[in-house]
Amino acid sequence: MLTEALNELEALLASERDAIRRLDGPAVLECAKRKQELVAELLARRGALGPKDAALLQSLTPALRQNGILLAHARDVVRDAIAAMRRESASPTYATARPMIHARSMLSVRG
């Protein structure tokens, strides 16, 4: 039973990594939910964890770390994109700034 949970966790980490790379928020949340359930199950049965299962769990550490790093980077990308969009919408474009220019403030370039 523990080996099955660990194998599912391993497959789930690969799915989560793919969802993170695609910036698929709903899929990432589903993976996180299932990951919590699996970890809770493993914690509840940690007394039954044998050496083989412990080694498999230990081997998942790099994948867990990599997904955490990818999540942090994805968060930063989304945050930066939102900030850029806010700056763009806050600065007037030529089309919106043009009506504010009055005839008296125009400069003749004809001489």
Q: Is residue 104 part of a domain?
A: no
Q: Token pair of 42, please? A: 């493993």
User: According to the model, what pLDDT value does residue 91 have?
Assistant: 62
Q: How many domains does the chain have?
A: 1
Q: Running DSSP on this structure, what letter comes out for residue 91?
A: S
- Three-state SS for 98? helix
User: According to the model, what pLDDT value does residue 107 have?
Assistant: 40
Q: Is residue 24 part of a domain?
A: yes
User: According to the model, what pLDDT value does residue 97 have?
Assistant: 52
Q: Which residues form the domain of 78?
A: 2-94
Q: Is residue 106 part of a domain?
A: no
Q: Is residue 102 part of a domain?
A: no
User: According to the model, what pLDDT value does residue 86 have?
Assistant: 87
**Type of residue found at 59:** S
User: Residues near 52 by Cβ (< 8 Å), separated by ≥ 6?
Assistant: 3
- Is this model's pTM higher than 0.95 or not? no
Q: Consecutive 10-residue runs of the chain (111 residues): their mean pLDDT?
A: 91 96 92 95 91 92 94 89 83 54 45 41
User: According to the model, what pLDDT value does residue 88 have?
Assistant: 77
Phi, psi of 60 (to 5 degrees): -80, -10
Q: Token pair of 77, please? A: 């990308």
